[in-house]
Chains A and B, each alone.
Chain A
Amino acid sequence: MNIDFVPTAQPVSRLIEEFHKLPGIGPKTAQRLTYFLIRMPQEEARALAEAILAVKDKIILCSICQNITDSDPCIICCGEGRDRTKICVVEEPLDILPLERTREYKGLYHVLHGVISPMDGIGPDDLKIKELLSRLQGGEVEEVILATNPNLEGEATAMYLQRLITPLGIKMTRLARGLPFGADLEYADEVTLIRALQGRQEV
């Protein structure tokens, strides 16, 4: 990578490069963050570094819903008062947060960790689909809500799941299209999401 920059000490340019690898961080921001850290007190810098390592060491995937968690099963899967007859299928762990914030949905989740996208070499086998199907074997689940994003890849994934699950005789619904065209779950506001949940339609 080539960053236009005055020559700097090697540790500095190394940190800039590491920041630049993160999503949404351009070279300018990477520089700014690096110089911010250089001025930071030693303890704070250490705390940040430890927090990063702790995320990598202690965070695992829930063996049931595949959400990220530090205890297995996760707090949602263990939660009292959750409706165990419903599973909402989402693309990424981040997609759960806005749905939880609505307080409208009380069921369980399943995180696929991606969507079908041939150009990225991602097929059904790369997603947590087998894990979802095995959850559906118990007979406890009555409804699967497909909450993949309303774009091509999200729809391709929803259709694939629909074909697998339909023979099981479980009701399948898709979030209503109250979501703005092409808008991801991650960015949807609560009112819109509540409406999308309430208006979900059987597929």
Chain B
Amino acid sequence: MYIEHLSLINFRNYERLELELPSHLMVLQGDNAQGKTNLLEAIYLLATARSHRTATERELINWSAPREGLGIARLLAQVQKRGGNIRVEIAVMAAYPSPEEVATAEPSGATHVQKRIRINGIPRRASDLVGQINVVLFSSQDIDLIGGAPSLRRRYLDLTNSQVNSRYLRALQRYNKVLLQRNHLLRLIGERRAAADQLDFWDRELVGNGSYLINERQLMVAELNEFALPIHHQLTAEREKLGITYLPSVSVMEFQDRLREVREKEVALGMSLVGPHRDDLAFLVNDVDMNVYGSRGQQRTIALSLKLAEARFMHTRVDDHPILLLDDVLSELDAARRHHLLGSIASYQQLVITTTDLDRFDSAFLAEAALFQVSEGRVRPL
């Protein structure tokens, strides 16, 4: 699949952008803070309904734009894909807090945003959007997947699975709601304000939805592992044998029993202690855990292998090319790895690569690419 047209209005530093995107290779060159990453973020948002970089989505809206539609960012992509072309639109607008939110004074502070999503002109929910456009984003923060906290790896499992399986996303949303309700109920039981037998329903939902998530994560990690092994082997000149292992907090078979075992502790703590919300992922190189013992260089290379494996995984699952977004990742790689990376992704249908410096690429690669310059929220062909 590939995006043939992108239009942005009042999005970040883009007051108005209408851009025809070439299929295959697109290189965006520009200094820092000119809008390169914003453009990749827009594509990522159109694919996943969320930004990969900001917690306060209000920042997505360009508030200084002195034109009509102030306070609303609009994103639109025309996409060519197998089985028909689609048009995806998202409007991000500031939402006023409801009176209940004002009353409970959520400490979030900033005004919420609302997203209106349309697919081919028809209003849809975010869960209908995810998976319509498949993207794999390579960014300098990928290294945190290896060296960072488990929550980042769970988020990664969820985002990747959701992109290829809409049922996964629905199960995840339901699981998260169950978790929220169940934790409140555990607290109420601990305070003797609710009876313990009320847990039955929420336990059943936790185990049912949780088991589905565990199974799907298991399958995905097994596939990723298989793709990543030869990629990583090659990236490390055959020195490192990479193993990606899924570490579920509980097995599907034992879920029910474990829940019974920890019941008292859960009530005492007022939170759910077993289930996929406590899962993790391990990256082993020659059987050594890279989360703890990996050097920065090793972790960076593993992240790259993981992302390349993810692209293969997605391609296999959806039977169409995902769009690859590379956000200034080349500067961190040595010449050999850079060369290997560019070689192994060149066959994808659409690649959007940002860089501050065109010298990172060899001339043969550049000859194939459509070059653009990004400057102050404008994109011009070079």
Contact = CB atoms under 8 A, between A and B. Distances in A.
Interface of A: 1, 20-21, 26-27, 116-119, 121, 123-124, 152-153, 155-156, 159-160, 163
B180 A123 contact: no
B102 A118 contact: no
B253 to A, nearest CB: 24
Interface stretch (B82-90, B197-205, B217-225): B197-205
Contacts of B174: 152
B181 A117 contact: yes
A26 B202 CA distance: 34
Nearest to B204: A159
Contacts of A156: 181, 201-202
**Majority secondary structure, A binding face:** helix
Contacts of B25: none
B102 A1 contact: yes
A116 B198 contact: yes
Contacts of B177: 152
A123 B193 contact: yes
A160 B200 CA distance: 9
B258 interface: no
Interface residues of B, number: 19
A159 B182 CA distance: 15
A113 to B, nearest CB: 18
A118 B201 contact: no
B194 A118 contact: yes
Interface in B205-257: 205
Given A123-B188, A156-B201, 20 more contacts: A1-B99, A1-B102, A20-B99, A27-B96, A116-B198, A117-B181, A118-B181, A118-B182, A118-B198, A118-B202, A119-B181, A123-B194, A124-B198, A152-B174, A152-B177, A153-B181, A159-B200, A159-B201, A160-B198, A160-B201
B212 to A, nearest CB: 15
Interface string B63-96: 0000000000000000000000000000000001
B53 to A, nearest CB: 28
Contacts of B198: 116, 118, 123-124, 160
A121 B99 contact: no
A152 B99 contact: no
22 contacts: A20-B99, A21-B99, A26-B96, A118-B182, A118-B185, A118-B188, A119-B181, A119-B184, A121-B184, A121-B188, A123-B193, A123-B198, A124-B198, A152-B174, A152-B178, A152-B205, A153-B181, A156-B181, A156-B201, A156-B202, A159-B200, A163-B200
